Amino acid sequence: MALTGFPSSSHPHAEAPHDWVERFLLAGPDDEECLHLGSAVDRGTLRGLVAEQAERLTAAGLAAGGTVALRLPPSLGFVTALLAGWQIGAQVALLDHRLTDHEIDLATERLRPQVLVGSAHRPSAALRGFAETDPVAVPLAAGRAAATGHALVQLSSGSTGPSKVIARTAADLLRELDCYAGLARFPGAGERVVLLSSVVHVLGLVGGLLNSLHVRAPLTVPERMTAAGILAAVAADERPTTVIGVPFHAELLAAVAAPAPLPQLRRMIVAGELVRPGLPAAFTARYGVPLGTMYGMTELGVIATDLDGTLHPQAQPVPGVELREESGELHIRMAASPYPGLVDPSRWSDGWLHTRDAGRLDGADGRVTVLGRRDSQVSIGGLKVDLTEVEQTLAAFPEVREAVVVFAEGAVEAFLAADEAADADAVRDRLVRQLAAYKRPRRLTFLDALPRTATGKLLRDPAALRGAVVAPAAG
């Protein structure tokens, strides 16, 4: 099924219809359920709430061609503020609500939104799937109008450096929705979705929220992101149900000893990080349905899928995606750079996006096997963490001379060369103020000096770094 009236070209300058939000996301009978966040929301109610948020944003000074940043947890308020911003014709930037005030200040300084939308409510508990929000739009004096025609701006890892700012047009979002509509095993009309992925990131946003609104498959967010809470959300409705999340969620569900029968569960689909080899079989053994996997990027959305769980660790590229392998790195055909204002040939050049993902292609059938990241970005429980950002934050502390941050055995670990008077508790307290909880190292290890290679470069091998800790005791 193609999107009626949407240009089929994926050229970066192809334009989406001006009323794309109304036509492709909000259309449908007034009494049709579209969302369930604690209670059901029908399309008539959603349209009314979006119109109300549009009035608030307009009153704060937002207009077509303007810029707005959302700092909202998963909530009805997030959905309505997002759609209202797009309906006005503004460029919307998404900021993870878990970021600290310090990180938000850095992000807004970089992005310069004209309006910042936060919540009047206090943050909800950590395991809550959604929150009650009352969006508050605050004009920012230093804000600037959009310099490009992009509809969506995302920060790939919470970093504010220019290489981490990613922008997509409305036409590109609709192209991705068209792609999802062509996947036979992806949720469609007559089905429902239980969403576990963050709506700030591409799978939860486009594959979850926007696709559900477009194909009119009601979307439910569990009240609690525990195994019991997720299973209760699946069991609450008899319609065929797909769960969308990250491998962490699949691990959580696969560990349930004896789950109650769930005849409505059709499959679970995960993305965001590599799936350990035994997880698909373990999940299917528990629930009798496939654990499908997807490979995608914030820059362009879904790239390859294995929705039936029969190809793992391989995946089949979606129609229209052209991949090549160069020196063990995956490159993807992309007409224009997704990084506004950035000229970096190591990320995009000559019509190819350099994914920084290691992988290989099967020439016989075109399938792709993703082997992991080649740069410093890692995924923890589906949340992106840039080790360089953590390292630079630590190195900026006055008592820290040098820092190396590594990811090993599922955790971020930091090794620091610091002054003798450095207080570990003080460093941790400073980290709490400057970095979101999911980015903070699980362990901080202080050394007199960090080990280096023969050429003077800092060692980044976890085993070598730990060896430097125990070496003095061995002598």
Find the CATH number of the domain harbouring 142: 3.40.50.980
Is 35 within 8 Å of 41 (Cβ atoms)? yes
Neighbours of 409 (CB within 10 A): 7
DSSP string over 31-46:
T-EEEESSSEEEHHHH
Q: Which token pair is 318?
A: 């979606």
Instruction: Quote the pLDDT of residue 371.
Output: 87
Q: Phi and psi for 334 in degrees, rounded to 5?
A: -150, 120
Pairing, β 192-195 against β 219-220: parallel
pLDDT, tens digit (0-9, with 9 covering 90-100), for 197-206? 999 989 999 9
Among the listed residues 468, 472, 454, the one whose alpha carbon sits nearest the alpha carbon of residue 404:
468
In this prediction, residues 310-322 reach a mean pLDDT of: 93
Range scoring the smallest mean pLDDT among 8-17, 32-41, 94-103, 119-128? 8-17
* Residue with tokens 């949340």, as numbered in its chain: 383
Torsion of CA 146, 148, 152, 153, to 10 degrees: -80
Stated pTM of the model: 0.84
Q: Is the pLDDT of residue 475 over 50?
A: no
Domain tally, the chain: 2
- Determine the number of helices (DSSP H) and then strands (DSSP E) in the chain: 13, 25
Q: Which token pair is 50?
A: 């979006």
Instruction: Quote the pLDDT of residue 470.
Output: 66
Q: Report if residue 318 sits inside a domain.
A: no
Torsion of CA 248, 253, 254, 255, to 10 degrees: 100
Instruction: Quote the pLDDT of residue 453.
Output: 61
Is 285 within 8 Å of 302 (Cβ atoms)? no
Is 30 within 8 Å of 44 (Cβ atoms)? yes
Is 193 within 8 Å of 180 (Cβ atoms)? no
Among the listed residues 202, 201, 234, 200, the one whose alpha carbon sits nearest the alpha carbon of residue 219:
234
Query: Residue 392's domain spans which residues?
Result: 380-474
Is 358 within 8 Å of 374 (Cβ atoms)? yes
pLDDT confidence of 456, banded at 50, 70, 90?
low
Amino acid in position 278: G
The residues, ordered by sequence, that sit 6+ positions from 116 with a Cβ below 8 Å of its Cβ are 68, 69, 71, 108, 137, 138, 140
Question: Which of 117, 145, 168 marks a domain boundary?
Answer: 168
Q: Report if residue 255 sits inside a domain.
A: no
**Contacts by 22-28, CB closer than 8 A, 24 or more apart:** 22/87, 24/174, 24/177, 24/214, 25/83, 25/210, 25/213, 25/214, 26/50, 26/83, 26/213, 28/216
DSSP string over 379-410:
EETTEEEEHHHHHHHHHTSTTEEEEEEEEETT
Distance CA(293)–CA(306), nearest Å, equals 5
The residues, ordered by sequence, that sit 6+ positions from 258 with a Cβ below 8 Å of its Cβ are none
Q: Report if residue 142 sits inside a domain.
A: yes
pLDDT, tens digit (0-9, with 9 covering 90-100), for 217-263? 999 999 999 999 999 999 999 999 999 999 989 989 999 999 999 99
pLDDT, tens digit (0-9, with 9 covering 90-100), for 53-70? 999 999 999 999 999 999
Instruction: Quote the pLDDT of residue 157.
Output: 52
pLDDT, tens digit (0-9, with 9 covering 90-100), for 105-143? 999 999 999 999 999 877 777 789 999 999 999 999 999
Q: What is the mean pLDDT of the chain?
A: 89
- CB hemisphere CA count around 253 (13 angstroms): 35
Instruction: Quote the pLDDT of residue 471.
Output: 56
Find the CATH number of the domain harbouring 414: 3.30.300.30
pLDDT, tens digit (0-9, with 9 covering 90-100), for 425-454? 999 999 999 999 999 999 999 988 888 764
- CB hemisphere CA count around 439 (13 angstroms): 27
Pairing, β 135-139 against β 400-408: unpaired
Among the listed residues 312, 234, 295, 227, the one whose alpha carbon sits nearest the alpha carbon of residue 266:
234
Q: Which token pair is 59?
A: 């009153």
CA–chain centroid gap for 177, Å, is 17
Q: Is the pLDDT of residue 90 over 90?
A: yes
Q: How many residues does the chain have?
A: 475
Q: Report if residue 370 sits inside a domain.
A: no
∠ CA 50-52-56, rounded to 5°: 110
Q: Report if residue 258 sits inside a domain.
A: no
Task: Sort residue 297 into left (φ over 0), alpha (ψ -120 to 50) or beta.
Answer: beta
pLDDT confidence of 14, banded at 50, 70, 90?
low
Q: Report if residue 53 sits inside a domain.
A: yes
Distance CA(72)–CA(298), nearest Å, equals 19
Q: What percent of the chain has pLDDT over 90?
A: 68
Instruction: Quote the pLDDT of residue 293.
Output: 97
Q: Report if residue 225 sits inside a domain.
A: no
pLDDT confidence of 4, banded at 50, 70, 90?
very low
Among the listed residues 429, 438, 371, the one whose alpha carbon sits nearest the alpha carbon of residue 399:
429
Residue, of 386 and 355, whose pLDDT is higher:
355
Q: Report if residue 94 sits inside a domain.
A: yes
Question: Which of 134, 168, 202 marks a domain boundary?
Answer: 168
Instruction: Quote the pLDDT of residue 344.
Output: 81
Instruction: Quote the pLDDT of residue 458.
Output: 77
Q: Is the pLDDT of residue 186 over 60?
A: yes
Amino acid in position 129: G
Instruction: Quote the pLDDT of residue 205.
Output: 97
Instruction: Quote the pLDDT of residue 159.
Output: 32
Is 214 within 8 Å of 24 (Cβ atoms)? yes
Instruction: Quote the pLDDT of residue 391.
Output: 87
Q: Is the pLDDT of residue 12 over 50?
A: no
Q: Hey, is 195 helix, strand or coil?
A: strand
Question: Which of 115, 141, 168 marks a domain boundary?
Answer: 168
Residue, of 456 and 140, whose pLDDT is higher:
140
Pairing, β 314-317 against β 301-306: antiparallel
Neighbours of 312 (CB within 10 A): 18
